[in-house]
Structure 1
Amino acid sequence: MTEATTTANTDAPASRSSRDKLLVSALACFDEHGLTGMTIEQIRRQANSSIGSLYHHFGNREGLIAALFLQLLDDQLAWSRTAIDAATTPYETLHALIHGYLDWVTHHPVEARFMYAARSEVARGENAAALKEKNRQRIGLLLAVLKAGIKSGSIRSLPPETFASLLVGPSENYCRAWLADRVQGKPVAHADVFVDAAWRAISATPCE
């Protein structure tokens, strides 16, 4: 099992350490039992925590799942943030995003499986607004780059939802297949292929 990237900060207060232990334990229980099979009691025992502490930090099981999902969204973005910030063109930004995403999934398969399994539950639950805002912040930079590319004529003018399907869809489909053991090649090994395909799909000019 891959340990969660939500490891405890040793300089944080005890309450934060307890919270992080519960998040790491939830991921471990997911890895062993699946999303529908893991229980509050399993997570509590794994974290050597009390039921009261769990409910204090997260309110309920749904809140715990949402907190882990949102934390992993942040971890995923942080994985490639340096490359994204260094990008100066739409193509470089696209390259950094896709490479970073595929590299993160390759190195964090348990976390990625959790995110795929929990996404719809979080999107439908009490934390749907928090997830929507988190995604808005995450894609804000990309949308700004795409708008600049459209204005300069280097990128086709397409609806935002179409961009999302073209840029992320193929990579996500491959990652799902890899995580389900339907394909063998690690996602990051195919990153350049997915970057090239995404750029060809949105570019108004020949691929760089």
Structure 2
Amino acid sequence: MSPKQQRGEETVDRLLDAALRVYAAFGEQGVTVGALTKASGVSLGSLYHHFGSVDGLMNALLRRWLGRLLAELGASLERCRTARTGIRALVRAYLTFVQEHPDAARLLHSSYADRLGMAQARQLRDAQEARLSPMTAWMQRHVDSGEVASLPMPLIEALVLGPVVATARRWLSGFDDVDLDEAARVLPERVWRSLLP
């Protein structure tokens, strides 16, 4: 990599890191050009050069953290031989990610992410296909073996992630009636039971 490319990557990283800090501190409305350039120390021209707009930067930030979440979920399955241990590991990995990266998790579970997901669902899925395909193949093997109910994959995804996402959203919203450690003990088995044939 040339020095110019390396500087470009460093600038991109600074902008993405600053965008998450600004979002965490001020919410979606606080993510402005001025706030981003001040927090990152990067010029307005560099922001537009690398991302085209504040929306372009936020989309890249969302994709970055979605990629990291999916990578961690995929890695949790790699060590699992049975569907039950895999589902348990997947649920725990999701909740651990939320606990360890609350600012990024707030972005991933935000109305901004929901709007982007609705508007660009296919593009987001295509961008993460390399991470999604192995997880889908893993699950399909367990459906084919009879360990998991023979349901359409979107329904399996809803059964696995629905309760986890709802729990994460509640915790991220500041409700003190949700304990993620308790959820990590209780939800994996409950989710697993919902997938039994």
The CA deviation string for residues 41-88 of structure 1, in whole angstroms up to 9 with x for no partner, is 111111011111001111111110111011101222344554321112
* Aligned equivalent of 2:9: 16
Structure 2, unpaired ranges of 5+ = none
Residue from 151, 161, 175 that aligns with 2:168: 175
Residue from 28, 36, 39 that aligns with 2:21: 28
Where in structure 2 are the equivalents of 1:1-12 lying within 5 Å? none
- On the 8 A contact 2:95/2:184 being kept in 1, the answer is yes
Where in structure 2 are the equivalents of 1:193-208 lying within 5 Å? 193-204=186-197
1: CA distance, partners of 2:181 / 2:67: 19
Structure 1, unpaired ranges of 5+ = 1-11
Q: TM-score scaled by structure 2?
A: 0.88
Q: TM-score scaled by structure 1?
A: 0.83
- Deviation of the 1:166 alpha carbon: 0.8
- Deviation of the 1:30 alpha carbon: 0.6
State how many pairs are aligned.
192
Structure 1 residue ranges, 4+ long, deviating more than 4 angstroms after superposition: none
Q: CA RMSD in A?
A: 2.0
2: CA distance, partners of 1:69 / 1:176: 16
Where in structure 2 are the equivalents of 1:128-207 lying within 5 Å? 128-204=121-197
Over 3 Å counting, the alpha-carbon distance change for 1:150 and 1:80 in structure 2 is: closer
Over 3 Å counting, the alpha-carbon distance change for 1:134 and 1:189 in structure 2 is: farther
Residue from 97, 114, 129 that aligns with 1:120: 114
More helix by share: 2
2: CA distance, partners of 1:153 / 1:115: 33
Matched, 1:97 2:114: no
The CA deviation string for residues 13-58 of structure 1, in whole angstroms up to 9 with x for no partner, is 1111111110111111111211133212111111011111001111
